[in-house]
Amino acid sequence: MTEETKTAAAAAWAVFDDSNDEETSHEEQNPIAEIAGRIVTELVRSYASRPKAHGISPPLILPPTACIEAPSDVRTVLEQRLVDAGWQILSNAPVDVVVNLTAFDSASDETHDAIVQSLHDAVYPGGLVIAQLPLGVTIEWKTEQWRSSRVLSSFDANYQLFALSRRAGIVNPLHYRVDPPTSLSLDIERQWVDTVTVCRTHSERIHGALSVESHTRACNILREYGVVILRGLFDPDTVRTWAAAALSDFAAIADALRSRHDMDVFNPGEKPPSRNFVEFATREAFRCDIRHTPALTALRATHPADLTARTEKAINPRHPVILSILEDVAQPDGGPLNGGNYGLWNFSYGGPGSRQPLVHGQVGAIVTTPGCFDQKIHADIPHLFNTVDTPPHLLHVFLPACEEGGFEAGQTAFVVESHRLATCARMMQEDGSGIDETVAKTIRPHLGPGDVVIFDCRVLHLGLANTTAPMGSVDQGVRRPILYVNWHAPWFEDKKNWEPQSVFG
């Protein structure tokens, strides 16, 4: 337990003031003090009370937030204990923690599902709900919604106190499985998604930041598993605007391919796209990569002029949260070994201990049309060497931007830990002995506009099928856009997918 957590816990239990023996005896028998103390202790155990923002100066505190629904006497004590422990009390959802001790009072069985859903929606992904249930009331806490549920204690012969943790994300159960998934395999996959997701608290979202602890966790996740998910980093409406621009550009490209180049992205069997262009690349039917297109290019003018901007609605490709993770993972601090990299005096890098500036491309989009199959599992680039795992030299930042079509529209699946040479070699054995491990470590997160996926381009992954309409549909189904920004070391260059001629020329 950290010193801040110890301090917060002490504040939480200050309700049991032992300055007077007679008063202590009275407090210990006070059920209001007891339930408040138990709840606050659970909260300060789960959340750092005064976390500092990473990379912001002067130092900024990111307090956890709670919304409390309880009888007035309990609420008064509970709110004061939390404020003393460094929390912020809000009246509007969503928040990090909801304490609701009245939701199920006198509720009929028919309303339980609606109450559970409202509690789920009242906290951010990864948030905590503490609810009081009358004895005899049985609730089905669905594993697709809740990571854990447990009884805290019983303070009253008629009630039990429950703590529930909302899952960090949603798993797409439809695509890419050798066999239909079982309840157990889906729960394992959900646990993996919880593991690789940084949910971000209310304060982190308001300030466009991560706490020091969240930043460290994000870096560790990306290093260890090859992919990290950040929830709610960008403004959803802005992401939708970019997605609409991408789809508009895709439609224009499809027309230009048909009219100028005798290619048909909707009928690749007869008129396959046989080459790539400046704005368009495709490696397989019904899945296209677009960049430098008219509408996307026009939107670049909306990027913040301040490259350190954190909270503007516009998309900042160099968002400090993303850049700091990429720098720490791709160019980790070598500590006492820094002095040994003496060649950094060359090429104006600044000498030992300095960082080579990472380079990023413009915002592009991958558009998947109805009828697209699950992509072949692949890695985008090779390792630098066959003998040692090195920090990544190319990383993708994905911004899922499709809301229509649900699970049938698909997104992207990742095989966690497959960016490691030994793990990937084991998984990809020609005799098939690695299939079980590969499937067990494949995650299919289903994310929304504003969420971000950062992944090491050596990790195995695949685009999921788009089954919203029959193959080749032009006017039916959903075209799925995923926005992206590529980041790489300054010496890396990828010319594989693009050619110098414009599709509109």
Instruction: Tell me the one-letter amino acid at 173.
Output: P
> Residue 68: in which H helix or E strand, if any?
strand 65-69
Which stretch of DSSP H or E encloses residue 36? helix 31-46
Class of domain 183-332+354-488: mainly beta
Same fold for the pair 31-167 and 183-332+354-488: no
Residue 29 is predicted with a pLDDT of 56
Contacts of 408 (CB under 8 A, 6+ apart): 174, 466, 467, 468, 478
Whether a cis peptide bond, with omega within 30° of 0, leads into 181 is no
In angstroms, the CA 73 to CA 71 distance is: 6
389 and 383 in contact (C-beta within 8 Å)?
yes
32 three-state secondary structure: helix
232 Rama sector, left if φ>0, alpha if ψ -120 to 50, beta otherwise? left
Model confidence, pTM: 0.92
3-state DSSP call for residue 248?
helix
Which residue shows structure tokens 């856009």?
A: 481
**Is there a contact between 249 and 295 (Cβ–Cβ < 8 Å)?**
yes
Ramachandran bin of 405, using left for φ above 0, alpha for ψ from -120 to 50, beta for the remaining angles:
left
Query: What does the H/E/C string look like for 162-230?
Result: EEEEECCCEECCCCCCCCCCCHHHHHHHHHHHHHHEECCCHHHHHCCCCEHHHHHHHHHHHHHHCEEEE
pLDDT given at position 159: 85
Residue 11 pLDDT = 46
In CATH terms, the fold of domain 31-167 is Rossmann fold (3.40.50)
Distance CA(357)–CA(327), nearest Å, equals: 8
Q: Is the separation of the CB atoms in 484 and 457 below 8 Å?
A: no
- Phi, psi of 276, deg, nearest 5: -105, 170
Nearest to 203 by CA among 64, 54, 52, 60: 64
pLDDT at 154: 65
What is residue 186's predicted lDDT score, i.e. its pLDDT? 95
Q: Rounded to whole angstroms, how far apart are CA atoms 23 and 459? A: 61
CA distance 265 to 369: 9
The set of residues, in sequence order, having a beta carbon less than 8 Å from that of 244 and lying 6+ positions away, is none
Whole-number pLDDT of residue 14: 47
pLDDT average per 10 residues of sequence, the chain (505 residues): 49 43 49 87 88 96 97 94 94 94 89 95 97 88 93 77 96 85 94 98 98 98 99 98 98 96 90 91 91 98 95 97 98 93 87 92 97 94 97 98 96 98 98 95 98 99 96 93 97 84 93
In three-state secondary structure terms, 69 is strand
Q: CB neighbours of 493 closer than 8 A, spacing ≥ 6?
A: none
48-80 in b/e form (b: 16+ CB < 10 A) is bbbbebbebeeeeebbbbbbbebeeebbebbbe
pLDDT at 25: 42
CA 123, 236, 192, 389 dihedral sign is negative
pLDDT of residue 418: 99
The domains of the chain are located at 31-167, 183-332+354-488
Nearest residue to 413 via CA among 68, 73, 171, 159: 171
**Contact between 221 and 198 (Cβ < 8 Å):** yes
pLDDT at 21: 43
